[in-house]
Amino acid sequence: MTDRIRLLPDNIANQIAAGEVVQRPASVVKELLENAIDAEATHIKLIVKDGGKSLIHVIDNGIGMSPNDARMSFERHATSKIKHADDLFRIRTMGFRGEALASIAAVAQVEMKTRLRDADLGTLLRIEGSELITQEEVICPEGTSIAVKNLFFNVPARRKFLKSNAVEMQHIFQEFYRVALAHPSIHFELHHNQVEVYNLHPGKLSRRIVDLFGKQYRQLLIPCKEETPTVKIHGYIGTPQQAKKTRGEQFFFVNKRFIKHGYLHHAVMQAYADTLLEGTYPFYCLFIDIDPEQVDVNVHPTKTEVKFEDERTLYAFMLTAVQRALATHHIKPSLDFEISINFPESLSDVRSLHNKKPSEPGSLASSRQSESQDFQSKQSKQASKDWKRLFEDFEAEQTLNIPLEGEELELFQKMQQREQEQQKSKVIKVSSRLNQIEDEEEEAKQALSPESQPVFQLHEQYLVSQVKSGLLLINIKAAKQRILYDRFLQQIRSGKRFAQQVLFPARISLPTADRTLLQEISPQLQQVGFELEFLQSGEVLVRSVPSDLQDEPQHILEFFLEQYKQMHNDFSLAQDEKVARTLAARAAHRLPKRLSQEEMQSMIAQLFASSNPNFSPYGERILVILDAQQIAAMFE
């Protein structure tokens, strides 16, 4: 009987390990930038070509490496960060596992030049697919330069799953933002396809935020700072008015390491309770300084998920810190700063403080603060009601790290069982409902002709008309979205433009990531009537806009970008469909309140000539028929 289990060759084992560490070009960017920071660099330059597929090059002025260290850095589990198991609980560096460079070298062509600060010569290494090609002495600057070329060159199956250059570049921007925000004292540069995208000079965190996201953030930042002997929270949050419908501008850092944490995100959202429009997300960039022994960062390959020793207490402290920052700027009436406040001296005091009734002496809100008491009571009720929606809405990949037990576990299980029963009921109803929708559409088509019953407008939101079986209702906004979506999509695909020239071309300043996204989809925008010029100054010059869009060019583009980014990663839609959807949403947003009889009849005619009169591009119902029996039942 022959043995079937065997050890894998090193190159195959490294490729398998690389699957966890190197998922896309942005993963390489993250690892190389963090290595440069660990090397005590004060100036880091990132050069990218073709969204990172062809080249990712990081140059730093850090301490450099000796020839032996340079070679050892590409061995698996070779690291200078830890020596004993206990060191895992005292980690302050970005990297510590010794996997990154070995994983990168397993799936790319890597060239490294490095020199110690007191050395005359440096070291050059070339590695392809884990195989050392060259190691020699070379003249080079102090620090380290690592060029990663042709990512996944030896794993075609992985390379073909990479997205477009623009999509991969968006992921690189996200990693760059996280590192640049965590270290505002470091000079960062980012170049893409030989164009300088960012040149971030050392300075305060507020300046770094403005440099990354735009000048408009200068007036929207609220300082947030609270401290006890065991934990410190500091950074900036945004005003509720600045909140966006898209996520991506929410940043937590633990000891300067970016993390994702749904539980703490819920604490921030809860602090904003009743000040945000539904479905919007505020900006925040918050740093948590805590003893490394109270946090475990070794729980995820990318080190973005962590476990805290006492997460419930940290939740309460985060909630208090953000509430207090908002109240200081007169956004929420949660605290009165004219009275004496006994702020908790230790992290463990925070939970008990939040559990106190408002009338207790040590509470944050005294019995004299009736307005604050009402607010806190309302907030507590809102927390239990909105927990599931807020938490699931943050990011599907994030998990709640706190185990449920006792009554909480029983309640959670009941909720799950109820949801499963509701889902089964929905499935049973689907087929009959689809048949009903088709019948309604056919009846509406037959009933609504120019010589048919008159059409009325209800509450400026619906069209109402009598049909054979009862009463027809049409959602005006959804109908207009369907009509405009079909029109914009046809224009993009046929090349027939309908544009209106702007009397005075508008110069618009956008964040670099938004400008890059706009450049990617500019061919489709040009087809529907936009004429855009991307200036050397970084601004965008708007010369014309689609004739269906009646608004200021800046408002049009800002709305368009925010809506488009919500579906940017929906790969079930083609790019022209995403553009048409977003433009239709904007144009329908500016509908006139009152429609004439001719306008209503025209809208109905266009609706039933569209590709799908039943549903808007976003899946919303457009028409509904109340049959005579349903209406009669209302009066019984």
pLDDT value at position 320? 94
Which amino acid is present at 211?
A: D
Opening angle at CA 514, ends 508 and 517, nearest 5: 120
- Which residues are bridge partners to 45 per DSSP? 59, 189
Q: What confidence tier does 371 reach under pLDDT thresholds 50, 70, 90?
A: very low
Percent of the chain with pLDDT over 90: 33
Higher pLDDT, 600 or 87: 600
Per DSSP, 226 falls in state E
Whether the CB-CB separation of 88 and 96 falls below 8 Å is answered with yes
pLDDT value at position 366? 38
129: nearest Cα among 105, 148, 147, 111: 105
CA 365 to chain centre: 35
Does the pLDDT at position 58 exceed 90? Answer: yes
Point out the least confidently predicted range of 54-63, 483-492, 566-575: 566-575
Which amino acid is present at 130?
A: S
Does the pLDDT at position 78 exceed 60? Answer: no
The gap between the terminal CA atoms of the chain, to the nearest Å, is 82
Point out the least confidently predicted range of 395-409, 420-434, 492-506, 518-532: 395-409
294: nearest Cα among 92, 82, 27, 496: 92
Higher pLDDT, 610 or 569: 610
Higher pLDDT, 132 or 512: 132
Q: pLDDT tens digit string along 166-212? A: 889 989 999 999 999 999 999 999 999 998 899 999 999 999 999 99
Q: CATH assignment of 444-627? A: 3.30.1540.20
Which amino acid is present at 77?
A: H
Q: pLDDT tens digit string along 444-485? A: 555 554 445 788 898 888 999 888 878 889 999 999 999 999
Q: pLDDT tens digit string along 273-329? A: 888 888 889 999 999 999 888 888 765 555 677 888 888 999 999 999 999 999 988
Q: What confidence tier does 52 reach under pLDDT thresholds 50, 70, 90?
A: very high
Does the pLDDT at position 73 exceed 70? Answer: yes
Whether the CB-CB separation of 171 and 25 falls below 8 Å is answered with yes
Work out the average pLDDT over 18-31: 83
In total, the chain counts a number of residues equal to: 636
28: nearest Cα among 352, 302, 258, 313: 302
**Helix/strand/coil (H, E, C) string of 386-401?**
HHHHHHHHHCCCCCCC
Which are the contacts of 543, defined by CB distance < 8 A and separation ≥ 6? 501, 502, 505, 531, 532, 533
Rank 96-110, 555-569, 593-607 by mean pLDDT and report only the highest. Answer: 593-607
Whether the CB-CB separation of 369 and 358 falls below 8 Å is answered with yes
Placement of tokens 């009736």 in the chain = 370
Does the pLDDT at position 402 exceed 50? Answer: no
Q: pLDDT tens digit string along 111-157? A: 999 999 889 999 999 999 889 999 999 999 999 999 999 999 998 88
Q: CATH assignment of 205-394? A: 3.30.230.10
Which of 356-390 are b and which e, b meaning 16 or more Cβ less than 10 Å from the residue's Cβ?
A: eebeeeebbbbeebeebbebbeebeeebeebeeeb
CA 496 to chain centre: 34
pLDDT value at position 380? 42
According to CATH, the superfamily of the domain at 10-200 is Histidine kinase-like ATPase, C-terminal domain (3.30.565.10)
Take residue 22 and report the two structure tokens written for it. 């190197």
Does the pLDDT at position 43 exceed 60? Answer: yes
Work out the average pLDDT over 246-265: 91
Does the pLDDT at position 223 exceed 90? Answer: yes
Placement of tokens 């998990």 in the chain = 399
Q: pLDDT tens digit string along 525-553? A: 888 888 899 888 778 999 888 877 777 88
Query: pTM value?
Result: 0.65
Work out the average pLDDT over 578-597: 81
Burial bucket for residue 424 (CB in 10 Å: 0-12, 13-18, 19+)? exposed
Point out the least confidently predicted range of 128-137, 250-259, 560-569: 560-569
How many whole angstroms separate alpha carbon 37 and alpha carbon 258? Answer: 13
